Each structure stands twice: as C-alpha cells, then as structure tokens.
C-alpha cells in the first residue's frame, strides 16, 4: 500500500536549530512531509531564542554542536519561552552519555544524524503524541546504565527523604522547612544525590524519584 504524506498545515510549526544549511534543507523537507506548514530556521542559539519571542513551535529539532551556546544549554531557555514545544536533540554523536544528559536537561528525544529518514519521522510522530523517543540501541544502553547506577546508589535515610520530597515538587528551601534542617544541609544532600544517581540537575532527581514510585 502506498503511503500518502499529509498536506502541510500552516497551523503546524516546527523549528530546526542547526548551523549547517544542508541540515535545514533535509529536515525542512522531512517535516513538510510530516505535515508541518511552517519550518523556522535558526543557525544559532541566539537566533532560536529570538524566534521564540513570536512563534511557539510544536517541535524543535536541536543540534548539540552550535556556535556560541551549545544545544544542551539551550534546552532550558527554549522550554522557558515555549513550554509546550517538544525537543528532539539531533547530533552526529550518538553516545549514550549525550542522550542521557539531553533527557536530563529536558529534551523529549534524541536521534543521530546518521539515522535513516524513516526513523526521523518515527521520532517526530512519537514526540507529537507526548512520548519520548530514543533509538532502540540507545534505549537499551541507557537502561543498562541506569540499572548499574541504581545498584551502586545506596542512599542514606536523609538522602532518601530529600529525594522523596523533591519528587513531590518541593523546592530545596521547602524541603529544608519540611525536614526542619538548614537549606545548606538539603543543598548538600541534593548534590550528593545527583552524583550518586548520575543526573545533572534537579529535573533529573525529580524524574528519578517519580520513576522509583511507579
């Protein structure tokens, strides 16, 4: 059966942030085939953030290696300006560590630039439905890595309390107030938790706390 691509819809907007024109051309065509009527193009982080002042794309395809501010550091400011955007990290480097950090920073998916066009479509469609996307090989590698981290992470009672309250959405000062300890005590516990659990920020701790309650 022949697959018919949807007609581009002007109401559907995507943004590609990459400093290579050929990437813009290729991604633009693929996104048009997926029904996106408007594809914004940014060659740097500054250009991307400026576009977000007047546009709210449903999907952002974001390169890790950019001039100036790198893609990983752009995830948070992009989501601050456009919280409903789904971010697909797009990189020549497909090492698990890069994927893990991208997800910890708030990205919704990770794809190698060496992936076939069909997989690009699969990733975008997953993000459109609110799902996360990782290539099967990377997903397996991260699962194995997380299992190892879980086995090696022995938490103290205090660290367990802090992690639980962070998972409930409390800020560090609120955690300190709840436990009746100083902010510094909680901040030190949070730093230790990030090291033990292999995450880089509070968002990573929240995700870990939520995951262990499932």
**Is the pLDDT reported for residue 5 higher than 80?**
no
In degrees and rounded to multiples of 5, residue 82 shows phi and psi of -140, 75
Question: How many whole angstroms separate alpha carbon 80 and alpha carbon 40?
Answer: 18
**SS3 of residue 105 by DSSP:** helix
Q: Which domains does the chain have, with CATH numbers?
A: 9-145 (3.40.50.2300), 154-212 (1.10.10.10)
**Is the pLDDT reported for residue 59 higher than 80?**
yes
Paired tokens of 197: 């659990």
**Is the pLDDT reported for residue 3 higher than 60?**
no
Paired tokens of 40: 């914004």
Nearest to 101 by CA among 128, 138, 49, 148: 138
User: What percent of the chain has a predicted confidence (pLDDT) above 90?
Assistant: 46
H or E segment at 182? none
Paired tokens of 110: 């990770």
Residue 139: CB atoms within 10 A of its CB come to 15
Each residue of 81-117: pLDDT tens digit?
999 999 999 988 777 777 888 888 889 999 999 999 9
Average pLDDT, the chain: 86
The pTM assigned to this predicted structure is: 0.66
Question: How many whole angstroms separate alpha carbon 57 and alpha carbon 40?
Answer: 8
β-pairing, 36-42 with 109-112?
unpaired
Q: Identify the pLDDT of residue 117.
A: 94
Q: Identify the pLDDT of residue 1.
A: 47
Q: Which residues pair with 111 in a beta bridge?
A: 90
Q: Identify the pLDDT of residue 153.
A: 56
Each residue of 83-92: pLDDT tens digit?
999 999 998 8
Predicted confidence band of residue 151 (pLDDT cuts 50, 70, 90):
very low
User: What percent of the chain has a predicted confidence (pLDDT) above 70?
Assistant: 89
Q: Identify the pLDDT of residue 134.
A: 86
Q: Region 61-80: what's the mean pLDDT?
A: 91
């Amino acid at each position: 059966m022949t697959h018919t691509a949807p007609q581009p819809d002007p109401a559907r907007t995507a943004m590609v942030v990459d400093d290579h024109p050929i990437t813009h051309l290729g991604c633009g065509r693929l996104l048009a085939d997926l029904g996106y009527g408007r594809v914004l193009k940014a060659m740097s982080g500054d250009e991307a953030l400026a576009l977000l002042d007047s546009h709210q794309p449903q999907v952002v395809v974001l390169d890790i290696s950019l001039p100036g501010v790198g893609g990983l550091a752009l995830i948070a400011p992009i989501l601050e300006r456009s919280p409903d955007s789904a971010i697909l990290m797009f990189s020549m480097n497909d090492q698990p560590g890069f994927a893990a950090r991208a997800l910890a920073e708030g990205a919704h998916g990770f794809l190698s630039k060496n992936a076939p066009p069909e997989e690009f479509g699969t990733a975008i469609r997953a993000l459109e439905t609110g799902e996360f996307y990782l290539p099967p090989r990377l997903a397996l590698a991260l699962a194995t890595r997380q299992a190892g981290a879980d086995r090696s992470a022995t938490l103290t009672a205090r660290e367990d309390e802090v992690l639980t309250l962070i998972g409930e959405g409390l800020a560090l000062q609120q955690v300190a107030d709840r436990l009746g300890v100083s902010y510094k005590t909680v901040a030190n516990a949070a730093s230790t938790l990030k090291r033990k659990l292999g995450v880089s920020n509070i968002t990573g701790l929240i995700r870990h706390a939520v995951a262990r309650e499932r």
